[in-house]
Amino acid sequence: MTVVLLLFLLCTSAAETEKRIVKDFSLQNVDGKIISTKDYKDAKGFVVIFTCIHCPFAKLYHERLNQLHAKYSKLHIPLLLINSSDTIMFANESLANMAKVAKEMKYSFPYLFDPSQTVAKDFKAEKTPHAFVIWKENKQWIIKYSGAIDDNGAHPELVKSTYIANALDELLAGKPVTVSCGYSIGCAIHYRK
Amino acid sequence: MIESPPKEIPSIIVQSKNKLTTPMLKRIFTLFLFAALTKFSTAQFNTLWIPDTLSGTTFNLNLIDTFKQIRSGNQTVTAGVNSDFWGPTLFFNKGDTVHMNVHNYLNDSTTLHWHGMHLPAVMDGGPHQVIPPGTIWQPYWKVANNAATYWYHPHLHEMTQEQMTKGLGGFIIVRDPQEAALALPRTYGVDDIPLMLTSRSYNGSNAFLYTNTSYGDYMLTNGIPSAQVNLPKQMVRLRILNAEMERAYNLGFSDGRTFYVIGNDGGLLNAPVAETRVILAVGERIEILVDLGTNNIGDTVNLNAYNGGFALGFPGGEPAQGGQFGSLLNNKTFTLLHINVTAATANAITALPVALANNTYWTASDATVNKTVTVTGGLPNQPGNPFGFENTHFDFNVINKTVNLNDIEKWTITNSNVFGHAFHIHDVEFKLVSRSTGAVGAYESGWKDVLYLPLGSSATFVAKFDDYSDSIHPFMYHCHFGPHEDGGMMGQFVVKGDNTSGIAEANVGTDFNLYPNPAHNKLFIQFPEENAGVYYVRMSDIAGRSVYMLPQPQLNNGIDIANLPSGIYLVALTDSKFNTITKKFIKD
Ligand SMILES: [Cu+2]
């Protein structure tokens, strides 16, 4: 029964997704420092992406994450990458291994460790990668987009819809987000019972 | 490899029409014409994938999450066994003892069931043998089955449809001397072709759908949309598996030709049976011979499903094109495989054997025990009561039936309910002895482990439950429709005997020693008591991460730990009375 419920959470009605509020969070970065959303005084919003080291579909996006951050952090929408893997099940999803990936892939943004899975649970993240755009409204973080980063994992050159970028451009222009809910696809996040 | 759905092309034109100038329209019309032409030439077919093979007595199966370019646009997230969809074909020789290393690299627990294999319940891979992520499960058994086509697939309760939809599974082909002595096509991938038939529906991101859906909209034959294969101008053998969630296939050829059924789920028939149509329900396998010798090189013929015009109850006959019980393939004829006839091979088989086997089947009068199973539930007005048996649903804690070792039993399955089903029983191959709808068809007269149970009928089979008893660990009987078994249309039976699974009563006693400690390559277990035995060994690291599951391990040669990271590990030994003792060792 849980399986059925989870699938519906992926893409509920757009209106419902837009109303969802998530909490501020602070997590350990790969450099050892604690990073909090509260540290970003100027942030209009965040791109929050849940990922992991071992999922083949998540591995396709390293370069595009750097590009997203390069463009939108200047516009006060930084990217936060989060690994919420069940570290009991997956020994390799460690902070040390995350640091190796961050170095190798030249991540220009924080890569945060969420071993208790609390942030992933607050966002209701389902997959790796699962991307969110959150936006500050009345001092609260509202989910404006939930789903895939774009519409072609293995072939960036064939991407037709850049869901995250589109949502950010619309928000920056003061418009409502047209596509607020795209299917996140990839490996399931295993939640520790 | 990339499917081009023809339906999209007209829709582009309709959407854009208003804004287009005449020259642009012309260009698009030309494009559409070109696309239409390619649609009706061979160009839109994709080459059939033939699964890789593994043979020998040790089989390494890695279950992985991955993705595959199935359609144009985004990749589809899939799962596979050493592969991006489905898995290798395992070749077993009857009489060999096969050892499986099943490594679960998935992001979730799973199980792997050896469908059709006669083996101890604890090796069977049913819903009880849950393999957590990161764990290696090592079942082994002596192959007692006849030469035929079997398969392996996940069987995790409530997750079977999802995990099978993603692509987990594979063929098993058993060889034996009787079959080897016959003049039958058996060059794998050349004149002996495994065909895994299934269909899928996709969301807008090309992800598979697997909830509240019984039928796919698009065929996948060995994981390939619109599959075609070149087959030589001679007698060819097709080993066809229905790996659907619910749909049955009414198999036939586009030119109406006669084909010859030579084998059922569990072995060759006594003689070939000529047919032009055969219904294959979920989980069933059929081996057929098709004579392409009378064709010309360059001829084409399609293997089709003639699924139109059935009465309600035929799985996939529902007329709806959408919704939970509808699909674009329902209630119509559609192509499963496009065949191009090419030159004959050297040493081609050209003749149909007259005789195949000399099976001695059980008859109804051989049975000393009768059992009945009745389909219940599933009524549209009772959503809280899905399909089940005897008004109950699967419960891990309830053993529904008990069989005595070596008994020959007669089971009658009755379906006077609302829909057709595919009844499967583990442990045995059975003989269908009667159907309420009339005589058992010649095409299903051989050894079977799945039977199609049409609406408004009953079917009776006879089987002998020999070799393996285990008073604790059950086998399953169930409907093989993914949504039905996940909904609890399953029961469990134990085979009771003097001993457990053919080995002496396992008893861990009161103590054991692990040596050497620290260990590097192999870990040995020493028992101070005589007649000590082990039913199950589980190994986990100090964080509680499961690493090994060893059912009834053969401990004389030690446990191979060479690949484990160094650290402290816990070894839990369980005996057949479920007493467990745990000890630590250090891997250095
Ligand atoms: Cu059923």
pLDDT of the residue at B508: 60
Cβ separation A57–B67 shorter than 8 A? yes
B67 and chain A in contact, CB less than 8 A: yes
pLDDT of the residue at B249: 98
Comparing B555 with B269, which gets the higher pLDDT?
Answer: B269
Dump pLDDT digits (tens) for A146-171.
999 999 999 999 999 999 999 999 99
Distance B486 CA to ligand 1 centre (A): 10
| Residues 191-230 in B contacting A (C-alpha not used; CB under 8 Å) | 203-205, 207, 211-212
Instruction: Give A158's contacts in chain B (Cβ within 8 Å).
Output: 73
Evaluate whether B121 touches B470 at the Cβ level (below 8 Å). Answer: yes
The distance of A115 to chain B (nearest Cα, Å) reads 14
Rounded to whole angstroms, the Cα distance separating B558 from B416 reads 54
Rounded to whole angstroms, the Cα distance separating A154 from B223 reads 19
Per DSSP bridges, beta strands B97-104 and B58-68 are parallel
**Banded pLDDT at B513 (limits 50, 70, 90):** confident
Domain residue spans of chain A: 2-188
Question: Could you check whether B364-496 and B513-587 share the same CATH topology?
Answer: yes
Instruction: Give A88's contacts in chain B (Cβ within 8 Å).
Output: 543-545
Of A3, A7, A89, the CB nearest to B133: A89
Topology (CATH level 3) of domain A2-188: Glutaredoxin (3.40.30)
What ipTM does this complex have? 0.85
Cβ separation B107–A188 shorter than 8 A? yes
pLDDT of the residue at B224: 98
Q: Which residue of A has its CA nearest to B67?
A: A57
Q: Which residue of A has its CA nearest to B109?
A: A190
Average pLDDT over residues B447-466: 98
Evaluate whether B552 touches B531 at the Cβ level (below 8 Å). Answer: no
Taking CB atoms and an 8 Å cut-off, how many pairs form between chains A and B? Answer: 69
**Banded pLDDT at B38 (limits 50, 70, 90):** very low
Evaluate whether B134 touches B104 at the Cβ level (below 8 Å). Answer: yes
Query: What's the predicted TM-score (pTM) here?
Result: 0.89
CATH architecture, domain defined by B513-587: Sandwich (2.60)
Contacts of B47 (CB under 8 A, 6+ apart): B224, B227, B228, B229
Per DSSP bridges, beta strands B53-55 and B89-93 are parallel
Cβ separation B211–A7 shorter than 8 A? yes
Rounded to whole angstroms, the Cα distance separating A111 from B176 reads 56
pLDDT above 70: percentage of residues in chain B: 90
pLDDT of the residue at B328: 97
Contacts of B550 (CB under 8 A, 6+ apart): B138, B536, B537, B538, B539, B559
Residue B95 phi/psi, 5° resolution? 100, -25
Dump pLDDT digits (tens) for B368-389.
999 999 999 998 888 889 999 9
Mean pLDDT check: name the lowest of B40-54, B295-309, B486-500.
B40-54
Dump pLDDT digits (tens) for B69-116.
999 999 999 999 999 999 999 999 999 999 999 999 999 999 999 999
Q: Which residue of A has its CA nearest to B212?
A: A4
Residue B504 has pLDDT above 50, yes or no: no
CATH match for B364-496 among 3.60.70.12, 2.40.10.10, 2.60.40.420, 3.30.360.10: 2.60.40.420
Instruction: Give A4's contacts in chain B (Cβ within 8 Å).
Output: 211-212
Q: Which residue of A has its CA nearest to B77?
A: A186
Q: Which residue of A has its CA nearest to B66?
A: A56
The distance of B79 to chain A (nearest Cα, Å) reads 10
Evaluate whether B198 touches B86 at the Cβ level (below 8 Å). Answer: no
Residue A13 has pLDDT above 50, yes or no: no
Dump pLDDT digits (tens) for A27-72.
999 999 999 999 999 999 999 999 999 999 999 999 999 999 999 9
**Banded pLDDT at B44 (limits 50, 70, 90):** confident
Alpha carbons within 13 angstroms on the beta-carbon side of residue B265 total 30
Rounded to whole angstroms, the Cα distance separating B227 from B219 reads 9
pLDDT of the residue at B25: 42
Average pLDDT over residues B394-403: 96
- Which tokens sit at B505? 């009563």
Of B77, B543, B545, the CB nearest to A186: B77
pLDDT of the residue at B245: 98
pLDDT of the residue at A137: 94
Distance B421 CA to ligand 1 centre (A): 4
Rounded to whole angstroms, the Cα distance separating B463 from B492 reads 16
Rounded to whole angstroms, the Cα distance separating B35 from B25 reads 15
